A and B are shown apart, each in its own frame.
Chain A
Amino acid sequence: MNKPTYGVVLFHSTQAAIKAEKILKEAEIKIKLIPVPRHLSSDCGICLRFEVDDVLAVKSTLASKNVQTARIHQL
């Protein structure tokens, strides 16, 4: 089985990352809070990892709940 390709959403604050985690979990999107990979300099220490196929769902779900994100990257 191939490992899925991941992307990450970065946030300004930890609390925003946790808010986003909660909202995406409720929307049943597969995500995990992980430390921000070193090469992506960051605003706070944790970010949300998602499967790249879900990128549109992640973006629209967060936008619809007014969650501010800093940046989105593909890993």
Chain B
Amino acid sequence: MIYMDNAATSYPKPDVVIQAMTDYMKNIGANSGRSSHRLAIEAGHIIYETREAIAELFNISDPLRIIFCSNVTEALNLAMRGFLKPDDGVITSSIEHNSVMRPLRALEEEGVEVTVVNCSSQGFLEPREIQAAIKANTKLIVLNHASNVIGSILPVAEVGEIARQNDLLLLLDAAQTGGAYPIDVEAMNIDLLAFTGHKAMYGPQGTGGLYIREGVDLKPLKWGGTGSRSDEERQPDFLPDRYESGTLNIVGLAGLGAGVRFVLAEGEDNIRGKEKNLTQKLLDGLTNLKGVTVYGGLDIDRQVGLVSFNIDGLMPSEVGFQLDEEYEIMCRVGLHCAPAAHKTIGTFPTGTVRLSLSYFTTEEEIGKTIEAITKIASK
């Protein structure tokens, strides 16, 4: 079995992740912030240590400015819904995931002005196009760090500089990069960083969050119990409680903390180096095949560990089915929740076959995958 669907969710997870989750379930199990016995405090420690690890990964100075959410989709909704008001302008790119586009289209119906800047057919964005799209009412720029369709990496630091010069906020969707590609909220001028825990941060599903820069105030997405200020019927104004109503996914956060510490211990450069090498091998193996079209810039320095392709005369779903049935290779096919991205690269409405690897993928698996695709394409 070869798992090449890590862009959807990573598998396998490091053993330490499973151990941390089991340890919490067996030996701690309590809620945090509600009671004050020793197990409740232990649970609070686990949550805080996960914040700390994430703060280190993204160079965030105050771990309490990280808000835990159930995934990046919720984090993006909190950021966009909490910040944008009717008549505000927002700029985004033409290769965004629906977790950005759908909330923006909904906000558009409420009077927010949405400007979509086109990316090249290889999925790249010119920072000056963002500059040119800024209007008097523009308040926010929303970008994905890397496309989940073709893996292209966007010039975040350059856009961050533009945002700063124009007094705009930058919201980054780091779903495809967090853990796999360096992110530094200071160096890149990121005001709001939305991440998901279950991909390259190696946590379980149901984890993610939003970093909110000091000085940025958002309207909460939900209101409710926090354990703090229980005498008050109004939502507290301090972080993280302002945005973390309801019991957290503590078992999930135990796993996420272990996943991020795994990334920090292995070293992000090391992880990126290995994935780059594997991606290059995959690209080398596929680009020369007759009847195979590989999408994207084919520039490994501007691509994360995922490759989208099609085979002449075959629908993506047929290719995916053959890979699974005959070769036990698992991948994703179709539109990957990003219709605008497919229009940008010219694969709408059929979509692509997407192979996505992780730090646990081996050279042998890449070799077998190339072999299988070679056979399918030459039938």
Q: Which A positions have Cβ atoms within 8 angstroms of B?
A: 12-19, 22, 33-36, 41, 43-46, 66, 68
Contacts and interface: CB of A to CB of B under 8 A. Distances in A.
22 contacts: A12-B229, A12-B241, A13-B33, A13-B64, A13-B226, A13-B228, A13-B238, A14-B32, A14-B33, A14-B227, A15-B33, A15-B44, A15-B51, A15-B240, A18-B44, A19-B63, A19-B64, A22-B52, A35-B36, A45-B36, A45-B227, A66-B62
B47 interface: yes
A14 B227 CA distance: 8
B44 A14 contact: yes
A46 B64 contact: no
Given A12-B236, A13-B238, A19-B64, A36 B36 contact: yes
Ordered nearest first, which 7 A-B pairs have the shortest CB separation? A35-B36, A45-B36, A14-B33, A44-B228, A18-B48, A46-B36, A12-B238
Interface residues of B, number: 27
Contacts of B85: none
A14 B34 CA distance: 9
Contacts of A16: 64, 238
A35 B38 CA distance: 10
Query: A-side binding surface: helix, strand, loop or mixed?
Result: mixed
B35 interface: yes
A18 B228 contact: no
B41 interface: yes
Contacts, number: 65
A13 B241 contact: yes
Contacts of B37: 35
A34 B236 CA distance: 22
B45 interface: yes
A33 B39 CA distance: 12
A51 B255 CA distance: 36
Given A13-B239, A15-B241, 9 more contacts: A12-B228, A13-B64, A14-B44, A15-B64, A16-B238, A17-B44, A19-B64, A35-B36, A36-B36
